[in-house]
Structure formats: structure tokens, C-alpha cells
């Protein structure tokens, strides 16, 4: 029988099967014996029935599903086993600060890699999270001498803190140890040296923001473009949560995707050709990712945005969904916990998918909105990204605010402009302070509007608890009505197949 599947479609099914295996392993426990049985059984089927393409494809899909289960079940198992040997022991350690320190109002979080334990070299222990005082300050690539007790992470009520850390390969904690800096700038390669300089430059951007803006607006902008939430007061942070805008005050996947696409629209309306605009928006997005210090969620969203832009650059929009699914599969092969434990990964994938699938629909829906300054396209792009990401955000925070739909509609469309002007004035202000001050004015106006929305709508109470079941129902209903509309109007078809 003739095979009606193209190689690209077959690859798509294999990728989806792998992702399904990763997803299932998050909720079900699979034994190694069961996984090996599946592999052997379907390998035999492939050998016996390879002439029948339906059986061949189905068997290969099950194999990839098994690979996904295996990868998730035995993710970084060696490091997890090794670190257990150090638990609950008072020890003298030498550890290297492996990431940018995270400073909050009450403490500092240091992600370190242990190099020595009681004077003996060690390796393959994963990462360790240290909670310490805010002073003295520590930096990336500091070599520290630490005296304290290594402990395993524990879940905090219903929150699975252990898995939350595990997705970043953090398997141990040390609470408020004695710390002494042995040496600084312990770079072992060119990339680490470059990354250290990027973090220093990021600190300069943070200082420039604090100089040019009032404290509340400076805290908000630092959170949006630098991922620094340490300057928020507890009261203001609660207001943000109540209004359902927490996802905006962080470097999320959705923000990066929107920044990339709206930069494209701005450049297009400025008179550049379409392919020039796509290429320039791609370059500017990655420049931004570099400036904020290669934050993992931003890098993953940058990959998604790049695939979206490249599909448009080479006029291959019809394969863009396949591209992002393939990219997601590669990311999950490196770290399977991203699928269910990393909200940044979820947001970047869903925002990209939403723009591909729903953008044409919202452009037609907003046809009465004027095209001046690309307003219609900006609103359509924002709504397209929001429709798939908002339910995940609601689910992760466990409730939906009555005002959340209103506040998101009022605020989300201006976020790319806040990011654009915020980056522009902080960069120019370092070299030309007067010019930086001039560019800070439109950013300040937008931030004042943002804070006014937060302060006004935070008076409304939280309303509805949301469970995982409601999340699944929402997406099923959404796609049911969407595909019915798609079939009737035929508005999304490109060469009769934008999705597959």
C-alpha cells in the first residue's frame, strides 16, 4: 500500500509522540521493565511489518513515545543519586557561583556548583541553591568557601518545590551558611567571560533605570525588561497578583514573542521591506536577550520567535507550526521537565502557536480598527498570543480575578512599547544622559498608566479557583469552535495547509 505521509509529516508525528511520552510521565509512573517491553515489542513489529506503512508509522510513534517516557523518568539520574551522599552532613565546601545571583528584599539566592566536599574534588552533583543574607554581595563566577549543611528540597504545601528546582537541575539546598569569597572572575572559557561582562552591563542598565524613573515605575520596568522583581514592595506585588498581571512583570515567553513580532510591525510601518523588517526584528530580539543576561526562559522564547520570523523570511509560513513543535521536542530532549514545570517554556510555545493559528482571525475581527501606527496588527498579535497563554497563567496562579480579562486587555498591548522605550532610554542614557532622559518620557507615561491600572483594579476581589480539568476543557472547546470556523470560512489556509 502506498505511503501517503511525507517525511515532514512523519517527523511531526514522531515529535508529538515524544512530547506525549514526556507529558504522560509527569502524571504516571512507568517502570523500566515496562518501557523496555514496549521498545522490544514495537521493534519486532517494525521488523515484521515494515512493508505496511500504517503499522510502521504507528510502531515508530510508540517507540518515540517510549523514548519520551524514558527520558523524563530517568532525567539526570546520576547527579540526583550522587548528591544524596552529601545530605544532612555538616561540611566544608568549595563552590562556584554558576548563575546571576537573585536578590530579593529578605535574602539572596545563589545557584552554585560544588567543586570540593571536605577537601576532596567532586563532580556530577547537579546544582545547589544557597539562601544567604543580602550583604555582602556575590557575583557570577565567584569561588566560595562554604560551611553548612546540604539538605534535600522539600515541597511547600501543594506546591511541588522539589520538581520546580529539578527542572533547573538543582537537587540540594544550603540555608544561610558561612561564606567566604576565595576568588573572583573564575572563567573557564570565552563564553563564561562574555557572560560575566553581559551581567556587568545589565547592572549598568538597572542603575540607569533607577536614575531616570520614580521608584515604583523603576521597579516595574526593571521587572519587565530585566526580570528583577527585588524592588517591588510586598503591597505592590500583591496588587499585581490580584489584578492578574503577574505574568507581565517578568521576562516570560509571551513577552519575548510579542516583542519580536511587534518590532517587525514597527519596522514595517517605518518603511522597511517585509524581509528587512523580519531580519532586523530577529537581530534586535537576540540583542535584547543578550542584554538581559541570557535568561533561560528568554533564550527558549527567542528560539521560538526566530523560527516564526525565519518562516516568514523564507516565505514558508505553512511549516511554522512543524518548526516550533520540532524545536520544542529538541528542548524537551535536553530537559523534559520544561513541559509541565516551566511556565516560561509553556508561554513561549503557546504564544507562538497562538500567533500562527489565530492572527489572521483577529485581523479580520478587528477590521474596523484603523491601521494607523500598526494599531490593528498590534492588537491582533496581542490577542492571538493571549488566547492560548491566559488559561495557563490562570491555572498556574490557581485562581482567576474578576478583572483579569479587563486588565490584560488594557495593559498587554502597551508592553512591547514599554520594553522598546525602556531598552532605548537605558541604553542611550549610559552614553548620552540627556538623550536618555528624553527617551524616558514616553516610557514613564506608559508606566504611569500601567501602575494606575494596577492600583485601580486591585480593589476588586479574587473570584474563581481553577483546576487542571477546566484547563483541558477550555482548550478543547476553543479548538472545537475555531476549527469549525476555519472549515466554514477557510481564512487560515495557505496552500490548503497552514498547520499540517
The C-alpha cell of 207 is what?
542603575
Considering the entire predicted model, what is its pTM? 0.77
Q: From CA 294, how far away is CA 103, in angstroms rounded?
A: 17
Q: From CA 92, how far away is CA 123, in angstroms rounded?
A: 15
Is residue 346 within 8 Å of residue 363, measured between CB atoms?
no
Q: From CA 363, how far away is CA 377, in angstroms rounded?
A: 7
The C-alpha cell of 57 is what?
508509522
Q: From CA 298, how far away is CA 300, in angstroms rounded?
A: 5
Element (H, E) at 254: helix 253-269
pLDDT per residue as tens, the chain (500 positions) = 455 667 778 888 899 999 999 998 888 877 778 778 877 877 777 777 667 778 788 888 888 998 898 898 888 888 888 888 888 778 889 999 998 898 877 889 999 999 998 888 998 899 999 999 988 899 999 999 999 999 999 887 767 788 888 888 999 999 999 999 999 999 988 988 988 888 888 888 889 999 989 988 998 998 888 877 777 877 888 888 778 777 677 666 667 777 787 788 778 777 888 888 888 888 888 888 877 777 777 787 788 778 777 776 665 555 567 878 888 898 899 889 888 888 878 877 887 788 878 888 888 887 777 766 566 777 777 778 778 877 777 777 666 667 777 887 788 778 878 888 888 899 898 888 888 899 899 999 999 999 999 989 888 766 556 666 777 777 788 777 777 766 655 544 444 343 33
Please confirm whether the linkage preceding 146 is cis (ω < 30° from 0).
Answer: no
CA-only gyration radius of the chain, Å: 24
Tell me the pairing of strands 90-97 and 108-117.
antiparallel
Label residues 273-312 b or e (16+ Cβ within 10 Å = b): eeeebbbbbbebbbebbbbbbbbbbbbbbbbbbbbbbebb
Q: State the distance between the two ends of the chain, measured CA to CA, in whole angstroms.
A: 22
Tally of CB atoms within 10 A around 79: 17
Is residue 267 within 8 Å of residue 280, measured between CB atoms?
yes
Is residue 429 within 8 Å of residue 440, measured between CB atoms?
yes
Q: From CA 408, how far away is CA 386, in angstroms rounded?
A: 9
Is residue 113 within 8 Å of residue 124, measured between CB atoms?
no
Amino acid at each position: 500500500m502506498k505511503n501517503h505521509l511525507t517525511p515532514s509529516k512523519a517527523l511531526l508525528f514522531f515529535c508529538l509522540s515524544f512530547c506525549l511520552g514526556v507529558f504522560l510521565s509527569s502524571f504516571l509512573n512507568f517502570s523500566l521493565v515496562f518501557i523496555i517491553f514496549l521498545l522490544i515489542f514495537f521493534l519486532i513489529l517494525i521488523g515484521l511489518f515494515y512493508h505496511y506503512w500504517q503499522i510502521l508509522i504507528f510502531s515508530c510513534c510508540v517507540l518515540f513515545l517510549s523514548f519520551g517516557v524514558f527520558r523524563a523518568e530517568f532525567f539526570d539520574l546520576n547527579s540526583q543519586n550522587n548528591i544524596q551522599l552529601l545530605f544532612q552532613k555538616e561540611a566544608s565546601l568549595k563552590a562556584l557561583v554558576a548563575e546571576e545571583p537573585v536578590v530579593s528584599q529578605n535574602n539572596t539566592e545563589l545557584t552554585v556548583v560544588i567543586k570540593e566536599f571536605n577537601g576532596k574534588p567532586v563532580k556530577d552533583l547537579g546544582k545547589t541553591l544557597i539562601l544567604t543574607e543580602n550583604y555582602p554581595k556575590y557575583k557570577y563566577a565567584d569561588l566560595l568557601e562554604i560551611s553548612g549543611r546540604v539538605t534535600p528540597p522539600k515541597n511547600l504545601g501543594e506546591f511541588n518545590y522539589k520538581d520546580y528546582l529539578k527542572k533547573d537541575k538543582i537537587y540540594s539546598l544550603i540555608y544561610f551558611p558561612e561564606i567566604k569569597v576565595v576568588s573572583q572572575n573564575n572563567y573557564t572559557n570565552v563564553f563564561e567571560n562574555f557572560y560575566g561582562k553581559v551581567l556587568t552591563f545589565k547592572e549598568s542598565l538597572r542603575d540607569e533605570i533607577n536614575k531616570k524613573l520614580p521608584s515604583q515605575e523603576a521597579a516595574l520596568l526593571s521587572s519587565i525588561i530585566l526580570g528583577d522583581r527585588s524592588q517591588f514592595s510586598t503591597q505592590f506585588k500583591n496588587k499585581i497578583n490580584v489584578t492578574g498581571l503577574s505574568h507581565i512583570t517578568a521576562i516570560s515567553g509571551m513577552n519575548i514573542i510579542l516583542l519580536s513580532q511587534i518590532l517587525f510591525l514597527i519596522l514595517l510601518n517605518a518603511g522597511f521591506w517585509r524581509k528587512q523588517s523580519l531580519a532586523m526584528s530577529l537581530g534586535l530580539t537576540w540583542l535584547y536577550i543578550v542584554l538581559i543576561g541570557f535568561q533561560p526562559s528568554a533564550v527558549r522564547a527567542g528560539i521560538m520567535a526566530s523560527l516564526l520570523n525565519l518562516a516568514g523570511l523564507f516565505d514558508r509560513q505553512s511549516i511554522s507550526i512543524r518548526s516550533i513543535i520540532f524545536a520544542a521536542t529538541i528542548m524537551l530532549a535536553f530537559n523534559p521537565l520544561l513541559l509541565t514545570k516551566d511556565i516560561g517554556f509553556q508561554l513561549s510555545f503557546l504564544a507562538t502557536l497562538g500567533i500562527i493559528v489565530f492572527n489572521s482571525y483577529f485581523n479580520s475581527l478587528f477590521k474596523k480598527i484603523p491601521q494607523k501606527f500598526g494599531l490593528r496588527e498590534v492588537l491582533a498579535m496581542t490577542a492571538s498570543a493571549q488566547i492560548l497563554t491566559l488559561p495557563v497563567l490562570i491555572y498556574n496562579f490557581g485562581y482567576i480575578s474578576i478583572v483579569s480579562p479587563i486588565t490584560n486587555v488594557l495593559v498587554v498591548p502597551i508592553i512591547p512599547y514599554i520594553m522598546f522605550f525602556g531598552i532605548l532610554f537605558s541604553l542611550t542614557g549610559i552614553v548620552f544622559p540627556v538623550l536618555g532622559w528624553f527617551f524616558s518620557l514616553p516610557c514613564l507615561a506608559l508606566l504611569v498608566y500601567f501602575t494606575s491600572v494596577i492600583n485601580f483594579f486591585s480593589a476588586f476581589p479574587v473570584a474563581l479557583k481553577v483546576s487542571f480539568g477546566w484547563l483541558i476543557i477550555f482548550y478543547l472547546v476553543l479548538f472545537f469552535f475555531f476549527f469549525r470556523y476555519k472549515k466554514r470560512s477557510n481564512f487560515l489556509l495557505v496552500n490548503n495547509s497552514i498547520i499540517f
